[in-house]
Amino acid sequence: MTYRVADNRTYSSISENNHRFKIVLLGESEVGKSSLVDRFVKNQFHEFPQNTIGAAYFTKTVLINDLTVQLEIWDTAGQERYHVLAPMYYRRTQAAIIVYDITDHVTFEKAKKWIKELQNQVPSTLTMLVGNKLDLNICRSVEFDELQKFADENNLLFMETSAKHSVNVTDVFKTIARKLSKIETANADDGRSQHLLVGSENDDKRNCCM
């Protein structure tokens, strides 16, 4: 496991067909954030994982259509004493995954607070609310309808997962990668359109002066 402090790099496109995005995972301790990352990055699951100290950093490259997307993933600690460090990891973040445990309603309520804090500090961040531990569905205390209602009301992506059984884990990260790639491609197209428009206006002005 590699640890690294947040830096000042701009997480954006590397080239036309290559993109790089920063994703931060937030949520209470023991909801399964590290398990989701381990399953996605290493295809591993540990029944009793060690608590994350501060934050852990991982990278994973995925293919989205004809695009190569590098995801830079920050798995933050959920313990209360590390909460004060969270804003450091918000910086230059393009997406956030807020994780709760479907068998523990308290973690769902805490997830709402994480989302509110995130929206206040970095409102443009693409956010997905993830209910983990779907393998314990018989013990659930947060119904899917409750998740869907809150997500719809707050314009969030949402999904339920099982890191243990590898259910929907890859879909979480690929959905985010796909959304971010579309946004970045659209922004790049807008930039090119504006450039062409300005160029055309300058040509018109030169023609008028001739």
The pLDDT tens digits of the residues spanning 89-124 come to: 788 899 999 999 999 999 999 999 999 999 998 988
pLDDT in tens, 73-88: 999 875 555 566 667 7
Residue 140 sits in which domain range?
A: 13-209
**Average pLDDT over every residue of 205-209:** 46
Closest CA to 101 of 184, 23, 56, 160: 160
Q: Is residue 164 part of a domain?
A: yes
pLDDT of residue 9: 37
Instruction: Answer whether residue 3 is part of any domain.
Output: no
Q: Is residue 4 part of a domain?
A: no
How confident is the model over 179-188, as a mean pLDDT? Answer: 85
Residue 100 lies in a domain: yes
- The model's pLDDT over 38-74, given as tens digits with 9 standing for 90+, comes to 999 999 998 866 666 567 889 999 999 888 999 999 9
Task: CATH number of the domain at 163, please.
Answer: 3.40.50.300
Would 102 be classed as within a structural domain?
A: yes
pLDDT score of 151 more than 70: yes
> For all residues of the chain together, what is the average pLDDT?
82
Please indicate, yes or no, if residue 167 is contained in any of the structural domains: yes
* pTM given for the model: 0.81
Residue 127, pLDDT > 50, answer yes
Inside any domain, residue 7: no
User: Looking at the 3D structure of the chain, how many domains does it have?
Assistant: 1
Q: Tell whether 64 is covered by a domain.
A: yes
